[in-house]
Amino acid sequence: MAAVALARPWAARVRLGRVAARAAVLGALSVGAVLMAAPFLWLLSSALKDPSKIWLFPPQWIPNPVRWSNFAEALTSAPFPTYARNTLVIVLANEVGVLASASLAAYGFARLRFPGRDLIFMVLLSTIMLPWAVVMVPNYIIFRQLGWLDTPLPLIVPHWFGGGPFYIFLLRQFFRTLPADLSDAARIDGCGELGIYARIILPLAKSALAAVAIFVFLQHWNDFMAPLIYLSKPSNLTLSLGLAAFRDVYSTQWHYLMAASVVVVIPSVLVFFFAQRHFVQGIAMTGMRA
């Protein structure tokens, strides 16, 4: 009985310590969430303000009055439906090209044995360290010689040839976590490599493919530099370039820019919100096997 009496205060202190630790973790996460959400909240607040109240100090977080007309005026001051259509064409074409070509290349590096495989893969990974600015001018010259300037082809076609070393690496690492016995059993049944890739590997790699799809969407939906280099006609511009229409040499229409930015960023938030489970699972399981 004495031992039980002594154990009760100790157990209570342990429970209290766990509650305090959990409260500290939740508090830290809450502070981090507020800090991460602050820029977006400021963006939304500024999109609803009168332009004269955007730069007030101390800042006015709750707009007064609320100007919902900023959204309509911003989206009608430039051909945003055309920009959205051009951006969707580029994004969807790259989604198909990257997922198809990167997954096929990753399957070859993960499951096929051929001379120089590891050396080729190492050279492929080394290209990740190559800055894009180094190849910017050579790529521009190539696309100019092909007559592709001011068309979406420079923004689409290169991604149909492997998709990029990072995506190949990501999918290759995930494919290596799948049991090799499944492929061996399929080969015994007479299934070829393409059949194994299409019928066994891809259905089991939905999480990794979803993670790559999210990366590709964010990359091309928000891409600014490549469209700026290759596109010039107003009818070919993307959303990221359309936002620049609100900036002038001497002034910037901040209320319109903020309102249009809110509309442009919403698809990215929705894509990650609805696919975050597959995204987190795909990233977590990638790299579990070297």
Statement to judge: residues 59 and 89 lie in one domain: no
Q: Within a domain: residue 157?
A: yes
Q: Within a domain: residue 268?
A: yes
Specify the pLDDT at position 27: 87
Within its chain, how far is the Cα of 30 from the centroid? 24
The answer to pTM > 0.95 is no
Specify the pLDDT at position 146: 92
Statement to judge: residues 101 and 143 lie in one domain: yes
In angstroms, the CA 24 to CA 277 distance is: 26
Statement to judge: residues 37 and 80 lie in one domain: no
Q: Within a domain: residue 280?
A: yes
Statement to judge: residues 38 and 158 lie in one domain: no
Specify the pLDDT at position 202: 87
Statement to judge: residues 229 and 272 lie in one domain: yes
In angstroms, the CA 51 to CA 46 distance is: 8
Q: Within a domain: residue 217?
A: yes
Please state the three-class secondary structure of the chain as a single string: CHHHHHHHHHHHHHHHHHHHHHHHHHHHHHHHHHHHHHHHHHHHHHHCCCHHHCCCCCCCCCCCCCCCHHHHHHHHCCCHHHHHHHHHHHHHHHHHHHHHHHHHHHHHHHHCCCCCHHHHHHHHHHHHHCCHHHHHHHHHHHHHHHCCCCCCHHHHHHHHCCCCHHHHHHHHHHHCCCCHHHHHHHHHCCCCHHHHHHHHHHHHCHHHHHHHHHHHHHHHHCCCHHHHHHCCCHHHCCHHHHHHHHECCCCECHHHHHHHHHHHHHHHHHHHHHHHHHHHHHHHHCCCCC
Residue linked to tokens 């995506």: 167
Residue 267: give its domain's CATH number: 1.10.3720.10
Packed helices 254-285 and 69-76: angle between N→C axes, nearest 10 degrees = 90
Burial class (CB in 10 A: 0-12, 13-18, 19+), 43: middle
Q: Within a domain: residue 155?
A: yes
Statement to judge: residues 121 and 32 lie in one domain: no
Within its chain, how far is the Cα of 90 from the centroid? 15
In angstroms, the CA 91 to CA 97 distance is: 10
Statement to judge: residues 85 and 195 lie in one domain: yes
Statement to judge: residues 45 and 138 lie in one domain: no
Looking at 69, 90, 123, the residue that finishes a domain is: 69
Based on the structure, what is the number of domains in the chain?
2
Residues contacting 172, CB < 8 A, separation 6+: 106, 107, 109, 110, 121
Looking at 21, 42, 69, the residue that finishes a domain is: 69
- Domain of residue 30: give its range: 2-69
Statement to judge: residues 149 and 190 lie in one domain: yes
Looking at 69, 101, 125, the residue that finishes a domain is: 69
In angstroms, the CA 87 to CA 101 distance is: 21
Statement to judge: residues 161 and 244 lie in one domain: yes
Statement to judge: residues 161 and 25 lie in one domain: no
As a dihedral over the C-alpha atoms of residue 196, residue 202, residue 208, residue 213, rounded to 10 degrees, the angle is 130
Specify the pLDDT at position 178: 84
Q: Within a domain: residue 290?
A: no
Statement to judge: residues 194 and 87 lie in one domain: yes
pLDDT along the chain (290 residues), means of 10: 53 69 86 85 85 78 82 83 92 93 91 87 88 88 92 92 88 86 83 85 86 90 90 89 75 81 86 72 55
